[in-house]
Amino acid sequence: MPSYKSFSSFHLLFPKSFFIFGLLLFVRCTTVGFHSEAKRSAIDFGSFAEIKICTILETGVSEEETNKLFDYWNEELNLYSIKVVPIPYRKMERPGFTGGAIFSYLYTLDLEPPCDRILYLKGRTLGDLVYEFFTLGIFLGVGLKLEIHGAVDSKTHSRGYIKSKYISTLQILFTSPESTLVHEGYHLLGCGHQLFMEECYIQIQKVKTLAREKETEPGFFPSITPEGKKFKNREAINSEE
């Protein structure tokens, strides 16, 4: 089973003396890296490209909420002449409580036209409320709160999920569904974690160039991992999973 933990977006809260460090860590974990306008503007990202994201909506997540999230994501992707388009795939109850259970389900799905990527939008259940109450107790007791808000598989960068509903004040203070989607969206483009975004800019340029090559499946936006492995068609991704 492909690993996804290396590309998860998580939430750490630190008490008092670690507050500044915690803020720096939050910035890194929700944005992948720091932008450099000068280095980005020096890169030619080529012509406009469209990426079709087949979305799985958990019960309680509406298409209107999905469209708002994608509008925010597209504001970021406009920097690279890219637009993501949500393609309704299905609505369903959560296949399991943990992120691992969600990925176990996603791995059963083949990437088929018109899907370029598959994204699961996680809602909020009674179980989530209980978990949030439990983690809040830990935070009040020892000053540490660990919570995963989203993840992307690290083998093909073609499937992922995000937590699309936040209610807790602690969650809203440090992150949001929009920032989580932007973060995981960069992983879906093949970016890893880095302090500054230059490597990610180059990665995006490479995957857009690959999309225009004759060997790439027509109508498919390909995938390149941070290690440089290329997936030029859906069949290659499905066989890898």
pLDDT-based confidence at residue 20 (cuts at 50, 70, 90): very low
Q: Is the pLDDT of residue 63 over 90?
A: yes
CA distances from 93 to 120, 124, 146, 176 (A): 11, 11, 24, 22
The token pair that represents 30 in the structure block: 């929700």
Q: Is the pLDDT of residue 200 over 50?
A: yes
Q: Is the pLDDT of residue 17 over 70?
A: no
30 or 192, which is more confident? 192
Q: In this predicted model, what pLDDT tens digit does every residue of 45-59 receive, in sequence order?
A: 999 999 999 999 998
Q: What is the mean pLDDT of the chain?
A: 83
pLDDT at 33: 79
pLDDT-based confidence at residue 107 (cuts at 50, 70, 90): very high
pTM assigned to the model: 0.83
Task: Annotate 4-26 with b (16+ C-beta within 10 A) or e (fewer).
Answer: beebbbbbebbeeeeeeeeeebb
Q: How far apart are CA 29 and CA 148, in angstroms?
A: 11
Q: How far apart are CA 220 and CA 239, in angstroms?
A: 16
25 or 153, which is more confident? 153
Q: Is the pLDDT of residue 21 over 50?
A: no
pLDDT at 155: 94
